[in-house]
Structure 1
Amino acid sequence: MEDRFSAGKKVAALGIAVNILLLIFKLAAGYAAGSQAMIADGFNSLGDVFASAVTMFGSLYAAKPKDADHVWGHGKAEYIASMIIGFSMIAMAIYTISGSADSLIQQSALEFSWWLVGVAAVTIGAKACLYVFCNKKSRQYKSVLIKANAQDHRNDVFVTSGTLLAIFLSLLGLHWVDGVIGIAISCWIIYSGLLIIKDSAGVLMDTGSDAKTLEEYKDEILKIGGIDHIDSVSTKPVGAKIILIVKVSVDKNMTVIESHKIAKAIELEMMRDRPEIDDVIVHINPDLPHL
């Protein structure tokens, strides 16, 4: 798990450095040329700096070991951080929508500039590299926090491509497209933020594993001898991992020691080769007739 959180800190540090540079270039170019799309893109980079900073603090806190007050560890800090990132994206997007709307109402003209083109091209290249790096790390460590950063970088590739399109369309006199794309950029950011919030909320609200996964767990448990039937199998997320809660019925005449051996066998079997399971809680019931 140390490697997982170390990767999160590396992703965050890289994101902060790159996004600060892009923020400066985008806002300078956007205000100089009067491009609402580039200004919106610039404020998006400001949001990216904040997102990377939240990723850093989230990774640091989530890496803390278990203690008396947090017996299951601090893993959910990742999901809290991801939700903060989602809300910050939405807040920034709402702000940039107003600027783009004003541009359309006032019919502001975008002044073509190769400076704008250069900044957009550099942004697309930098963000594409960041996405590839972060996506690889998120898959390797199955981190929702790194995944949120990867999605943010991926979105920026499409967002800045739209900005670049608006810049070239201004040569045809279609200056209104700049404001429209600025609004579209903001809407895309809002949509992405909502998806991040949804994924994070699922863990924070203790959403269990899907039905297919639960059936796989049940099949494995039933292979263990001495079990009459399974009463229930459920999961509780604790950060990136889950707690497996199993209730089984055994022969009512079985001794406590024998039933304890079955419970231990279930625990060992389900923990073996299943890195997603942090702990297994087994409750043994006597096989009594249902009244």
Structure 2
Amino acid sequence: MAKEGTELERVPLARDASYERQYSSQPSVAQIEVLDEEARPSTIGKNMPAINWGDKKVSPSDLEALKTMVAREPPWKTACSLVSAYFQQNLLEDFYRRQNDIIDSLMEVDTLHSGEYIGDEVDEADERRARRAVALSFLSNIVLLVVRVSIAAVSGSLSIIVTTLDAVLDVISGSIIWSTSLARRRRNKYRFPIGQARMEPLGIIVFSCIMGTAGFSVILEAVRQLIDHAKTELPYEGAVIGGTVGVIVMKIGMYIMCRKSSNSSVQAFALDHINDVVVNSVGLVGALLGDKVAAWLDPLVAMIMSVWLIYAWGGQAYYNVMNLVGLSATPPFLQKLTYLCWNHDPRILQIDTVRAYTFGDSYLAEVDIVLPASMSVAESHDIAEELQIKLERLPDIARAFVHIDYETSHEPEHKIH
């Protein structure tokens, strides 16, 4: 989810004189303090400077026109004569795609300020479909495991044994995803004050290590068979082929059902399903080649599949380790948070720090804002609390902390471990 980025710290942003004149009609601190407690003005939905971000986006037709213009330019007039027009077109498309993504994120922030944000609303129908997809995916992995264990027991093919190892891990990782999705709906705020979302990445790390060990064992066995020129017969060939093809068809169907879901757990299962299609197809081909063509092809295919599985699950382990360590959010995401904080309330004088770092599959956000030193505790509390609520409404933010200050000349409040 997160690539290595940076954080915005000790870079105060101050309102200019024109901005202050624009909001000179806002009540003063003394006026606000004498207001009745229930009549204290809310900062949500405050009229802030509006920017029509939709006009800033590059439409697909404009982008095609730009790409056509680049293609028509002679090499010596383009950005680099050594780079082909096709490559420059791809760079151009990638640049404007990233720009449009940034604009979309800023438009999303504007809907938060206007009270029109719907990104955190729960669609009950989608939730039911997601729960059904998770349950069916988990059951399909159990069926896959039973079929693969039966086929491996009668075939003895190393390629099929590798697919069986993958099926075992699928059931284990699937049970983690399923139990995590249940835990999210059955929260115990007293036993787990911050939730159990990190159970899933922790489990993936553990079982990635198990998968790496199992894959290495298969590689050693494959090397032994290659040295000994051992040949493995493939008995019950019809049952092996039929069972494997049936599993492949089932997994294709499950992938089609899960691939369009926006739920992260369902998306994880969709990736697992298409991975099973590839692994089982290659495993069956390796077993048939070892039986029909040459005995050394079966252990060779098993070795290749084991190396690939070790690489794939090693990448998953590294990704989840980085997320648990606390990797900084990307600059565009920090830019989004800064824009949200800056347009939250006109009484915010400066933004001192904007920090976000991974917390499992989501982020923890820390924001330091500067308010007038003479502002009352009640008023500054309301500004900070409503900013925290806005930040935590973003789907990528697990928890937000807003710190209030009256100056920016101090050292950072937290030490780095």
Do both proteins adopt the same fold according to a TM-score greater than 0.5, normalized to the shorter chain?
A: yes
1:286 match: 406
Given the two structures, how large is their TM-score scaled by the length of structure 1? 0.81
Does 1:74 pair with 2:204? no
1:207 corresponds to 2:327: yes
CA–CA distance in structure 2, aligned partners of residues 285 and 209 of structure 1: 24
Instruction: Find the counterpart in structure 1 of residue 372 from structure 2.
Output: 251
1:175 aligns with 2:295: yes
Tell which has more relative contact order, 1 or 2 (C-alpha 8 A, sep 6+).
2
Match of 2:151 in 1: 29
> Which residue among 101, 111, 116 is the counterpart of 2:240?
116
Post-superposition offset of 1:181: 0.7
Counterpart residue identity of residue 342, structure 2:
L
Two-structure CA RMSD over aligned residues (Å): 3.3
CA distance in 2, matches of 1:173, 1:288: 74
Deviations 1:100-140 (A, max 9, x none): 22322222234463433323322322222333444444xx2
Given that 1:59 and 1:78 are in contact with CA atoms closer than 8 Å, whether structure 2 keeps it comes out as no
2:264 corresponds to: 142
When residues 37 and 11 of structure 1 are mapped into structure 2, their CA distance, relative to the original with a 3 A threshold, is: same
Give the superposition deviation at 1:179: 0.6
1:93 is displaced (CA, Å) by: 1.9
Q: What is the TM-score normalised by the length of structure 2?
A: 0.59
* % identity of equivalent residues: 23
Contact 2:138–2:178 (CA<8 Å) still a contact in 1?
no
Partner of 1:84: 206
Aligned residue for 1:51?
Answer: 173
Moved more, 184-193 or 146-155: 146-155
Q: More deviation in 177-186 or 26-35?
A: 26-35
Q: State whether residues 130 and 263 of structure 2, in contact with CA within 8 Å, keep that contact through their aligned partners in structure 1.
A: no
Tell me the SS of whatever aligns to 2:189: coil
User: What is the aligned counterpart of 1:228 among 339, 346, 349?
Assistant: 349
**Structure with a larger share of its residues in helix:** 1
Secondary structure of 1:283 counterpart: strand
Where does the alignment leave 5 or more consecutive residues of structure 1 unmatched? none
Secondary structure, counterpart of 2:300 in structure 1: helix
Deviation at 1:178, TM superposition (A): 1.0
* Equivalent in the alignment of 2:283: 163
Decide whether aligned partners of structure 1 residues 127 and 92 sit closer, same or farther in structure 2, where only a CA change above 3 A counts. Answer: farther
Larger Rg: 2
The 1:222–1:248 alpha-carbon spacing in structure 2 relative to 1, beyond 3 Å, is same
Shift of 1:281: 1.9
Candidates 194, 207, 214, aligned match of 2:314? 194
Deviates most, 194-203 or 166-175: 166-175
User: How many residues were matched structurally?
Assistant: 286
Aligned partners of 1:262 and 1:66: how far apart in 2?
A: 29
Q: State the distance in 2 between where 1:175 and 1:128 align.
A: 30
Corresponding letter in the other structure for 1:231: D
Identify the residue that residue 385 of structure 2 maps to in structure 1.
264
1:3-56 Cα shifts (integer Å, max 9, x gaps): 799878755643454334333433443453442111221232223223333333
**C-alpha contact (below 8 Å) 1:124/1:160 kept by paired residues:** yes
Inter-CA distance 97–130: structure 2 relative to 1 (3 Å threshold) = farther
Amino acid at match of 2:181: S
Alignment partner, residue 154 of structure 1? 274
- Asked if the contact 1:120/1:163 (under 8 Å) is kept, the reply is no
1:217 Cα deviation after fit: 0.9
- Determine helix, strand or coil for the equivalent of 2:367: strand
Structure 2 residue runs of 5 or longer lacking an equivalent are 1-121, 412-417
Indicate the SS of the match to 1:65: coil
Corresponding position: 1:131 with 2:252: no
AA matched with 1:180: L
Q: Deviations over 1:161-185 (max 9, x none)?
A: 2223324434762321111111111
Q: CA deviation at 1:199?
A: 2.8
